Structure 1
Amino acid sequence: MQVLKLSIIIIIAALIRIVFLDKIPNGFFPDEASNAYDAYSILHTGRDQYGDFLPLVFKSANDYREGLYIYLMIPFIKIFGLNEFAARMTSGVIGTLTVLIVYYLAKEVFNQRVALFSALLLAVSPWHIQFSRITFRAILFPCLFCLSLLFFFKSFKNPKFLPLSGLLFSFSIFTYQSARVFVPLFLIGLIFIFHQFLWQHKFYTLLASLVFLLFFIPQIIFYVSPQGMTRANDVILSSNWLTIIKVYFSHFSPEFLFFKGDPNPRHLPQHRGELYYFEMITIPLGLFYLIKEKRKENTIFLIWLILYPLPAALTSEIHSLRAIIGAPLFAIISGYGLTKLFDLRLPYKKSIINFIVLLIVSISFVFYSHRYFIDYPRWLSTAWLSTMGEVITYADKTSSQCIVLDTNIYGEHIYILVPFYTKLEPSYYQKLGVDVAIHRLDMGSWKVENLNEISSLNKQCVYITTTQQLETIIGKGYKPQPLEHFKDINGEEIYQLVKIKS
């Protein structure tokens, strides 16, 4: 029976993370395209988009990304080709596996009931679903971290698991910038709490430490290098302690967790929190019993809770992506609270309570699903550059030998959508020397330019720009003529492909 319940939960998790991946979110973001094209380039040439041979760290959009996620994308792109579905499938699979890992983690620490509820709540978690459906490498962080912690708890029964846990912890750091802050601090707490156990098993502890350092030290050397600090400098680490404290505590606020969530439309459908309303009851209840029971294992989850907002707080920004490690944590705490709710002596039969709870969870999930799959694609479609793929694909099939992509659409980083949608041969692309860091963005017939900075336009070219930007073209003394109309789900033309006349 328990296997059947777990199977149903995993099926739900997989379906909600995989169906309509190529259409929802509505569009495709440059960060996603960059990861996908790097994987495509490695697949066909063994080199990334810049021509570097099997790099561990990818320069990408000049932000030097950890390569583990990109290498995991390769099998999906090999099977399904270079497209939105193949790129996002990686996150869908990782997200689904995380649900299974959380089940075994909660079962190891608590019991099977808590495990099933924890897995169910993560399976339907708006926070976790959002990043399981887009090609952002951050989704790999909670997956590997939970797996690392699972094997650490398993080592209590069999210390031979300690080296494997150490290896996985080092890998979990190599997933996303937030892990660089969170994991080392978490491990300090882990060592402090379980120092007696680690001392009793000195050999396996030493072996785990050596394995961890073997993979962690090279990462540290890179992270403190100019390239490794590029992304940290881009997001601007805050030095204002009052701001850091304010942003830190905002990640515990009901506004963030239950009502408004992350304001970035790419991180959450607007007008809802990261979690469900009913968890305003189950999370405090779970926390209460975690503290009350005073188990060492429970303390780990409290340390996890204390540390989870820190990476986001250091950048002075409410940010569910940088705080994504909180998603499985809240599912476990909430699942634990649910089991304690069932154990309360209430004047109702347990069957009635079970039915009510299941009904509330189901209704909450149905409302969220409607908001995500029906409403979300229609909201702020510019956030995902909806229809841009259609425009680029159509432009590439025209006979024009000069196609200009306007950077006013989404800055210079939009360049990567060109090789992604045109499936530009990687070996050819690498020879072009495209590099956003030095503003070298021409790709054969394709040119990526800021139309506002060009006084005289080439009438032999066709131009991809926004509908609003047409006024700028007219202001320069040209008459734009649309070559094709590209309407989004709301029937609006966000982007235009035009030729021009004097």
Structure 2
Amino acid sequence: MVYDSYSVLKTGMDQTGEFLPLTFKMGAGRPAGYVYGSIPFVAFFGPSVWGVRGLSFISGLGIIILMYFLGKKMFSEKTGLIASFLASISLWDIYLSRAGFEVHFALFLTLFGVVSFLYKKYIPMALFFGLAVFTYPTFKLTIPLLLLALMLYSGFIQTLKNKLFMISIFILLVFAGISIKETFNGVSEARFLDLNVLSDRILQTSVIQKINEQRNISTLPNKIKPLIYNRPLAYTRILFENYVENLSPQFLYLRGDRNPRHNPGEWGMLYLVELPLVFVGLYFLVKNSKRNLILIVTWILIVPLATMFMGQTHALRNNLILPAFILISAYSLENILAKWRIFIFSMFGIQLIYVLFTIYFFAPNKFGSFWSLDAKIASEKAINSDKNIEVVLSTKIDNIEYAYPVYAKIDPKLAIEQYGKWPKIYGNVIISNE
């Protein structure tokens, strides 16, 4: 991803030679938002760790500030301050920020859009929502639904009567039109088409076998069996199970999605102590603020709709759910007795310290291969080698063909010339696929 930013900065083209694309071919059709957003950081830091993570770091700071304004607008300044603090220590946000995932930038943009809507800044809202759609694919589904929920929260008819809001709808339709065009180009949705449960051939075979077994064993009349045992009902159950798993305590509080890239702390995405806070917060919301309760619960229920098609829990695709849970915890902390707050914040601190130790002193050694550590080591050795000696790097080293141009800061023009060609020759370094 960082090399695409570097290539666009230097040549106006991505590393495949396409001029200012809206969807980048690398990464199975990567939306353009994070790539273009990272260009200022790449210009300053080069194609480096800070070049790729700088935008995510700034997004994290922005999320902290936005949570304050969101909590203040919906509840009170005190809730906003607590929400801001919880965002600053959020395990989920720490994981996303450190790795420089584009979905973290998408979360920032979407949250900015939500806050803009609530403060009736409709034109900025449209711009932020539109940019978010071009930053992470699943937001194409969740943002329209979230916008509808916000309109109902603020008064549907009253919102539609606002002229600026109608202008913002036009802006969003422009973004939607471009997004649909990219979809029909067959690139931006390639990963979804490959990974969703509806196209999983192994699952299809399993479903058919199970349906045949059920029809053979069932004592129902033969005319009734196809109405009870069929693929639409079988897939409905699978999708529902996937949906529920993305809201399960196992994913949210205990183990996360078990992907070391998304969850190096090897805990859930939220703090354990936030589980009782959710129940306390829901109690106070039912008691004091049913309108806010409906919006927050709707927000939570919307997010997994995009993830349930992928067949597994996923920390990146579900990250838009984070602000809603932070709001519940913040409102809960505002309303409980002060003596309990001290205990609860202590629990936050204990788990945070444990997770930070895991992230910095354990995970790098255990999960280095997930971040192509071997490619980094090999690239650095090749860079520091005698320039008069030919060095051959094999693609048996995971991602070496992508890592070496980044670490060596190869001129993008040279990379573009050799796109799709083997071997790739960069001075005395040759990358071979044999």
- For Structure 1 versus Structure 2, the TM-score category normalised by the shorter chain is 0.7 to 0.9
Cα deviation, 1:60-89, whole Å, max 9, x if unaligned, reads 23x221112111211212222222233222
Whole-angstrom CA distance in 1 between matches of 2:281 and 2:183 = 37
Whole-angstrom CA distance in 2 between matches of 1:120 and 1:55 = 38
5 Å-filtered alignment, 1:92-491, equals 92-155=57-120, 161-193=121-153, 194-201=155-162, 203-238=163-198, 240-269=235-264, 271-342=266-337, 350=338, 352-396=339-383, 397-398=385-386, 399-401=388-390, 403-407=392-396, 409-410=397-398, 413-432=399-418, 434-435=419-420, 440-444=421-425, 445-449=429-433
| Partner residue in 1 for 2:30 | 65
**Greater fraction helix:** 2
Inter-CA distance 200–300: structure 2 relative to 1 (3 Å threshold): same
Worse-matched range after superposition: 83-92 or 113-122: 83-92
Is 1:89 the counterpart of 2:54? The answer is yes
1:395 Cα shift?
2.1
Aligned partner letter, 1:244: L
Whole-angstrom CA distance in 2 between matches of 1:163 and 1:326 = 24
Whole-angstrom CA distance in 2 between matches of 1:246 and 1:101 = 33
Give the conservation status (yes or no) of the 8 Å contact 2:68–2:80: yes
Secondary structure, in 3 states, of the residue corresponding to 2:393? strand
Inter-CA distance 359–294: structure 2 relative to 1 (3 Å threshold): closer
| Partner residue in 2 for 1:76 | 41
Secondary structure, in 3 states, of the residue corresponding to 2:295? helix
> TM-score with structure 1 length normalisation?
0.74
Whole-angstrom CA distance in 2 between matches of 1:405 and 1:70 = 27
1:237 Cα shift?
4.4
Whole-angstrom CA distance in 1 between matches of 2:326 and 2:62 = 15
Q: Percent identity?
A: 25
Inter-CA distance 64–190: structure 2 relative to 1 (3 Å threshold): same
Cα deviation, 1:432-453, whole Å, max 9, x if unaligned, reads 2x13xxxx45321423425xxx
1:388 Cα shift?
2.6
| Partner residue in 1 for 2:16 | 50
Aligned partner letter, 2:392: I
Cα deviation, 1:245-267, whole Å, max 9, x if unaligned, reads 11211122111111111111111
Q: Which runs of 5+ in 1 are unaligned?
A: 1-34, 156-160, 343-349, 451-502
Whole-angstrom CA distance in 2 between matches of 1:200 and 1:297 = 22
Give the conservation status (yes or no) of the 8 Å contact 1:102–1:115: yes
> TM-score with structure 2 length normalisation?
0.85
Aligned partner letter, 2:423: D
1:38 Cα shift?
0.6
Give the conservation status (yes or no) of the 8 Å contact 2:281–2:331: yes
1:288 Cα shift?
2.9
Aligned partner letter, 2:291: K
1:426 Cα shift?
0.7
Cα deviation, 1:283-331, whole Å, max 9, x if unaligned, reads 1222233344454344221111001122221111111111111222221
Inter-CA distance 254–340: structure 2 relative to 1 (3 Å threshold): same
Aligned partner letter, 1:403: V
Q: Which runs of 5+ in 2 are unaligned?
A: 200-234
Whole-angstrom CA distance in 2 between matches of 1:300 and 1:59 = 37
Whole-angstrom CA distance in 2 between matches of 1:441 and 1:242 = 46
Cα deviation, 1:23-54, whole Å, max 9, x if unaligned, reads xxxxxxxxxxxx10011111112221112222
Aligned partner letter, 2:284: Y
Give the conservation status (yes or no) of the 8 Å contact 2:130–2:172: yes
Whole-angstrom CA distance in 2 between matches of 1:191 and 1:85 = 38
Aligned partner letter, 1:289: F
Whole-angstrom CA distance in 2 between matches of 1:271 and 1:164 = 37
Query: Please, what is the CA RMSD of the aligned residues?
Result: 2.0
1:425 Cα shift?
0.7
Inter-CA distance 315–121: structure 2 relative to 1 (3 Å threshold): same
